[in-house]
């Protein structure tokens, strides 16, 4: 399974980035991060629309990929439920690529949510988008662990 995280904003050296890379190194699957520079615009709707367009242009290279959008209005899944979704995509639908979209400080354009295969929430709390990268890396590793009966995940 190949997973690409497309995120608005550039990451500087930080403990969160080190932790993201730690999960990436542990994971037998490919985990790639593509950062899209954020341009501060006075109109947040225009900013979200422009960022959404750049995200679409980026993931267009994988037309058969499943797309997950991270958004506070998304579904609240357990780690087991998320792993089961990955299993269904992999085993029953022969999906080999998953793209995960993380918006910037202005949020995500609603069309990205509407076009996603899964809109996922990490709860109603607001998380810094750079920290969300680390959270999703951990959940991807947890999905891998669950699907492979690895003791990392315990119920």
pLDDT-based confidence at 41, cuts 50/70/90? confident
Identify whether 115 is part of a domain.
yes
Which pLDDT value is given to residue 155?
72
- Total number of domains constituting the chain: 1
Instruction: Work out the angle between the directed axes of helices 79-87 and 129-147 (0-180°, nearest 10).
Output: 70
Identify whether 112 is part of a domain.
yes
Q: Is the pTM above the cut of 0.85?
A: yes
Which pLDDT value is given to residue 154?
72
pLDDT, average across residues 93-117: 94
Per-residue pLDDT tens over the stretch 64-80 = 999 999 999 999 999 99
Which pLDDT value is given to residue 106?
86
- The pair of structure tokens assigned to 2 is 């190949």
Q: Quote the domain boundaries for residue 12.
A: 2-147
Share of the chain above pLDDT 90, in %: 79
Identify whether 132 is part of a domain.
yes
Identify whether 30 is part of a domain.
yes
Helical residues (DSSP H) of the chain, grouped into ranges: 15-26, 44-59, 79-87, 110-115, 129-147
Identify whether 81 is part of a domain.
yes
Question: Residue 23's closest CA among 107, 113, 143?
Answer: 143
Identify whether 155 is part of a domain.
no
Q: What is the CATH number of the domain that holds 69?
A: 3.40.1280.10
pLDDT-based confidence at 97, cuts 50/70/90? very high
Per-residue pLDDT tens over the stretch 114-149 = 999 999 999 988 888 789 999 999 999 999 999 999
- The pair of structure tokens assigned to 6 is 């497309």
CA distance 20 to 28: 14
Which pLDDT value is given to residue 39?
80
100's enclosing H/E stretch is strand 97-102
């Amino acid at each position: 399974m190949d997973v690409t995280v497309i995120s608005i904003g550039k990451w500087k050296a930080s403990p969160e980035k080190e932790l993201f890379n730690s999960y990436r190194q542990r994971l037998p699957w490919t985990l790639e991060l593509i950062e899209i520079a954020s341009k501060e615009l006075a109109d947040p709707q225009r900013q979200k629309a422009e960022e959404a367009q750049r995200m679409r242009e980026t993931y267009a290279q994988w037309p058969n990929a499943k797309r997950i959008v991270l958004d506070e209005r998304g579904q609240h899944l357990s780690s087991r439920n998320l792993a089961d979704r990955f299993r269904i995509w992999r085993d029953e639908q022969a999906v080999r690529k998953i793209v995960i979209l993380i918006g910037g400080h202005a949020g995500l354009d609603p069309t990205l949510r509407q076009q996603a295969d899964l809109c996922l929430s990490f709860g109603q709390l607001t998380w810094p988008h750079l920290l969300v990268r680390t959270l999703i890396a951990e959940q991807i590793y947890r999905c891998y662990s669950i699907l492979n009966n690895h003791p990392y995940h315990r119920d």
